[in-house]
Structure 1
């Protein structure tokens, strides 16, 4: 990305808070979150990013299913 131009702007504090939360939850850098959002707005979605998000959701669902199964064993 060293060859890419830099774009900057000021945003409301609550946007910054949301960007941080999304970055933290997804394990991404804030710049990646903003870059992906701009790409979506411009209609240029990165297939790799979509696959990454889907893999993240699948992993989280598997963990939740495992926890739910263990709760079910406790209730029996």
Structure 2
């Protein structure tokens, strides 16, 4: 990998908050999160301890965060009026309503010589 140099850039405050949260969840320093993210983006193995378990831990943490975000989105999109849909009752007076067994209904559609 070679000699390491220090780089820097400005990021939105929201990103910083997400990086700090992720670092807290994984119990590591925020700069390690940034280092691993850059390595992943570049297609390099940036796991600082070269542990496959660590890579899986990162993936699980990201999936948990995405699941939480999706859960919030779904809850916000569900209209409260649709929590219980009204039951639809068949109109008994309707001529098309036939209360038969399914096999009887199938026979009704056959020509008389095939019944």
TM-score by length of 1: 0.61
Q: Which structure has greater helix proportion? A: 1
Give 1:52's aligned residue. 54
The 1:44–1:19 alpha-carbon spacing in structure 2 relative to 1, beyond 3 Å, is same
Two-structure CA RMSD over aligned residues (Å): 2.2
**Greater relative contact order structure (CA < 8 Å, 6+ sep):** 1
Q: Return the alpha-carbon distance in structure 1 between the equivalents of residues 37 and 52 of structure 2.
A: 12
Q: CA deviation at 1:4?
A: 1.6
TM-score by length of 2: 0.42
- Does residue 25 of structure 2 align to residue 25 of structure 1? yes
Q: Return the alpha-carbon distance in structure 2 between the equivalents of residues 20 and 49 of structure 1.
A: 22
Give 2:4's aligned residue. 4
- Please list every run of 5 or more consecutive structure 2 residues that lacks an aligned counterpart in the other structure: 61-115
Q: CA deviation at 1:49?
A: 4.8
Q: Return the alpha-carbon distance in structure 1 between the equivalents of residues 23 and 16 of structure 2.
A: 10
Instruction: Give the greater-gyration-radius structure (CA).
Output: 2
Q: Return the alpha-carbon distance in structure 1 between the equivalents of residues 36 and 57 of structure 2.
A: 16
The 1:49–1:7 alpha-carbon spacing in structure 2 relative to 1, beyond 3 Å, is farther
